[in-house]
Amino acid sequence: MWDDDTRYAVIRGRDARYDGQFFTAVLTTGIYCRPSCPARTPARQNVRFYRTAAAAQSAGFRSCRRCRPEAVPGSPDWDVTGDVAARAMRLIDDGVVDREGVDGLSARLGYSRRQLQRILVDELGAPPLALANAHRLHSARALLEHTDLPLTQVALTAGFGSVRQFNDAARGAWGMTPSEARGRRARSTSTRAVDAAPTVEASAATGGSVGTEASGDGGTMRLELRLATRAPFDGERVLAFLAARAIDGVETVEPGSAHVRTLTLHHGPARARLVPVEDGVRVGLDLADPRDLGAAVSRCRALLDLDADPIAVREALVRDDRLAGHLAVAPGLRVPGSVDRFEAMARAIVGQQVSVSGARRSLAAIAERWGRRISLAGGAPSLLMPTPEVLADVDPEVGLMPASRWRALSAVARAVADGHLDVSPGADRHQVRQRLLAIPGIGPWTADYVMLRGYGDPDAFPGTDLVLRKELGAAARDVTPVAERWRPWRAYAAQHLWTANAEGRGHGSAG
């Protein structure tokens, strides 16, 4: 929707809120930057704009060493839209190309390799391999700057096929070799990029991958990063929301400070400690296998909704008097997501027609009985949520919750295990919602809540939710029609109304 003159006005204002939404390349220097780069603004005739860092790299530009454009918050387009390009980017960020190649990416999206390449070049300015290389370089940069892993291990961990391939990609994108990039880390003063925390420890065995078992016996790689986000960011309210719903054994919350939880990743288990700070989030990762770094970061970003566009949300919602006051109180509110889409489904089903605390107790009992215990270095929490394969076979008469709810959960688990429900980052949200609704025991509230938290759909709206109906003062059972004016940000409107109610400042609040 923007033209290049509008983009040029943004870079003249050096507005960091637009970082990640486009990139600026300068013909006279051969460098590309983020919109907020502190360097002198180039002349208009010398500037070209690209939608992705990969597109700028493919055009022959290298990244600016001052503003580090390859490490900005992710584009909100990947979350807002459900088109093929956005779904492809979500899969690439989760490492699908590294594990399955471009053919695997194409198959997941239902396109031929040639069709997908044409779509991505037209929409994003770069083919799949270039986009995957940009993602690999992001992970490699973090490993170079925050660990002492050998360069060979960094290359393989980040997804490159060889050190030579890594060297060539680094020279083209950064204008320096990996060794030179590592040598600069002590002199780096950037704090807006993915930066190292004060202490960094890499305790993994560096001779190879750890393996896929949950025991973590092969060792643990500990890594601390800083994840960037767009301002304003209300980390305190994100933590409060997660704390109220934390599953004992799987998650622990340090009130007002940190959220800690286990993760089930592609090559093994992990644990993440998330600490919101003024300009982003500090993340401490304990990884059983360092190849999961990129996927772990992607899931942490999704959990805290770090790629949200608060400017666009405010512009869409502030015109409604019912929301304007809430936006003034909490302008940086996010919609907390999930690190695992099947887990989000389980939370929604278990939470049907019960209180938040009641659902939390039931989920903790399910995790304790059917989850897997891990022994990563770093302590608690130490439980992984049970897999779909395990919950698909649970006897509905087992207790903990009504048998009808167990049947719904088992049916969803079987659909996920069989591949009928796509829980990958590249899933077609509309298709998943329709398939959920076709399962007995799954109604509109459950399906929409899964879309909101599990699939990061910014326009999902559980219109039959009791709190939303109270806050909107509606007698109707479904208030979805009332929310039409809030598209495509209805999920954020719902989050503002839920938060206002919980804090006793909403229209339907008891206090």
Nearest to 398 by CA among 410, 415, 382: 410
- State the DSSP string of 445-470: HHHHHIIIIIS--TT---TT-HHHHH
Q: Mutual orientation of helices 96-109 and 113-124 as an angle, nearest 10°?
A: 100
Helix (H, G, I), strand (E, B) or coil at 31: strand
What are the two backbone dihedrals, phi and then psi, of residue 374, each rounded to the nearest 5 degrees?
Answer: -115, 165
Determine which one of 19, 33, 94, 307 is catalytic. 33
Give the bridge partners for 264, in sequence order: 269
Q: Cβ(143)–Cβ(293) under 8 Å?
A: yes
Residue 33 annotated as catalytic: yes
Q: Cβ(229)–Cβ(76) under 8 Å?
A: no
Residue 64 annotated as catalytic: no
Nearest to 352 by CA among 414, 491, 279, 445: 445
Q: Cβ(108)–Cβ(424) under 8 Å?
A: yes
Cα distances (angstroms) measured from residue 119 to each of 99, 110, 151, 174, 186: 21, 13, 34, 26, 41
Q: Cβ(483)–Cβ(317) under 8 Å?
A: no
Q: Which two tokens stand for residue 98?
A: 């590294």
Q: In terms of C-beta density within 10 A (0-12 exposed, 13-18 middle, 19 or more buried), how is residue 41 classed? A: middle
* Cα 418-420-421 angle, rounded to 5 deg: 110
Q: In terms of C-beta density within 10 A (0-12 exposed, 13-18 middle, 19 or more buried), how is residue 129 classed? A: middle
Helix (H, G, I), strand (E, B) or coil at 377: coil
Determine which one of 94, 234, 465, 478 is catalytic. 465
Chain CA centroid to CA 246, Å:
18
- The residues annotated with a catalytic role in the active site are 33, 465
